[in-house]
Amino acid sequence: MRTLDLDSATIPDLRRLLDAGTLTAVALTEAYLTRIRTFDARIRAVLFVDPSAVVQAAASDRRRAQGAGPLGPLDGIPVLLKDNIDTRDLPTTAGSHALLVAPPAEDAPLVSRLRAAGAVLLGKTNLSEWANFRSTRSTSGWSALGGQTVNPHVLDRNPSGSSSGSAAAVAASLAQVAIGTETDGSIVGPGGACGVAGIKPTVGLVSRSGIVPISAEQDTPGPMARHVIDLAITLAVLQGEDPDDPATVGYPGRVADYVAALDPDVLQGARIGVWRIPDQGDDVDAVLATTVDTLVRVGAIPVPVDLPDQADLGAAELPSMWAEFKDGLARYLATRPDAPQTLAELIDFNLADPVELSRFGQDHFEAAVAAPPLTDPAYRARRARARSLARASIDETMAAERLDAIVVPSNGPAWLIDYETGDKDEIGSSSPAAVAGYPTVTVPAGFVGPLPIGMSFIAGRYADARVLAFAAAFENASKARRPPGLLSTLP
């Protein structure tokens, strides 16, 4: 471990060492646990550490020593989980005191898949409470239970949300991989702001059962890591049908080999739409220009594009999510009998708790209480319009310009943590793919001072392998990522 650089090591690197016997899973796990003990008091990314982590790692070592071979591609690899994903042996709280009750009865299916692949589950990460769906004035990375996760590059800056703990943890090398979730921007935003890679998969590629919901139309879990190849390996483990998740009914029915799709020459001759967000600022423009230069250098053909109807899309999205949150949360709370059982009870709980509303309110909760049922014709029309606008903005743009993918900045420079003003990031590039249910991969692309900027590669439904391949090729060509400096503030 003295010679192993965790920041630069990929899963294939670690697997080679583990298989050769020059590294043990116990040593690797203890190294990450040591980093959590050493650094997380400053970052506050990890909410719970699994006390069985070293025992899990020892079981992995025994399998190799006995000649049984690894269980799967993640055998012995330490992984963190966002704390809105059910685990039978650890709390699942969504950052709220209201869910700090008995753990769920069962693992979420994606957790079962990780265990079956041999992953060592290190623990749970902090998040923007209720996955950033409690208030329009929220501060990303804050939860009543976990406090404020900070950006490991500059500690007074926001990590973006809501998978803030997952992004900050992998940026600071507190785990090899972390699992996040996204409804709209909650993987690609913190991935970009914390300088790591992350994929929001096609909705329905990975089961959402056992995850605290926002929108059954948009929610999806996905991996976050320092290297795109680690995303590909982990997504291959997570993907698959779930009879309890209707979104997986359209699953293609085959196991994609995302690693085999990582062709280093895939960008050569590829037509890549370049979407510049209005008013994103000169600094982000400069990173986008550097991105275009890199794409040209490796043989891609950049094509300027402008995705239409973004304002109309946003106007239809939020009211739809209020109705979906009300419905989905009631179903989830029924699986947690020790917790409040209705949204109205949660609102009352927060009013009585001394911490829950100390930083911002719960206007999303209040709007959701008043939202119509999912059978309401107005709701159904609004959701259909949002989906149609989102899919058309991507599909028609790609068809008209004969594009293979679209690239767009994932984030602006991380903003100061400020509970008076709340979140400030206004890039807003995640919505078309999020509402359409299409895949997005964010990958580090550059810096504004010490603050990372990511670029998102977007394409159509089930084009996950393609966007991963483009992101990996860009990552290799740009070599833009660097480890966080843990600066206390900007000079």
pLDDT tens-digit profile of 57-110? 999 999 999 988 889 999 999 999 999 999 999 999 999 999 999 999 999 999
Catalytic choice (60, 82, 209, 326)? 82
167, 75, 91: which is closest to 123 by C-alpha? 91
Catalytic choice (135, 143, 162, 207)? 162
pLDDT per position as a tens digit, 427-450: 889 999 999 999 999 999 999 999
Percent of the chain with pLDDT over 70: 99
399, 411, 407, 417: which is closest to 466 by C-alpha? 407
How far apart CA 490 and CA 157 sit, in angstroms, is 9
Catalytic choice (143, 164, 186, 393)? 186
Q: If you average pLDDT over residues 202-206, what whole number do you get?
A: 96
Q: What is the pLDDT of residue 19?
A: 95
| Terminal-residue alpha carbon distance, the chain | 34
| 186 in catalytic set | yes
Residue written as tokens 């069962």? Answer: 106
Q: What is the pLDDT of residue 253?
A: 65
CA dihedral 51, 55, 60, 63 (to 10 degrees): -160
Sheet with 120-125: list strands edge to edge: 46-49, 120-125, 78-82, 177-182, 220-225, 197-200, 440-448, 451-458, 405-409, 271-275, 301-305
Contacts 24+ apart (CB under 8 A), 349-355: 349/97, 349/98, 350/98, 353/97, 353/98, 353/144, 355/97, 355/144
Is pLDDT at 256 greater than 80 in this prediction? no
How far apart CA 273 and CA 86 sit, in angstroms, is 38
Is pLDDT at 27 greater than 70 in this prediction? yes
The count of other CB atoms within 10 Å of the CB of residue 255 is 10
| 326 in catalytic set | no
Contact 142, 165 (CB under 8 A): no
CA dihedral 229, 140, 208, 76 (to 10 degrees): 40
| 60 in catalytic set | no
The count of other CB atoms within 10 Å of the CB of residue 246 is 11
pTM: 0.97
Contact 404, 271 (CB under 8 A): yes
Arithmetic mean of pLDDT over the chain: 96
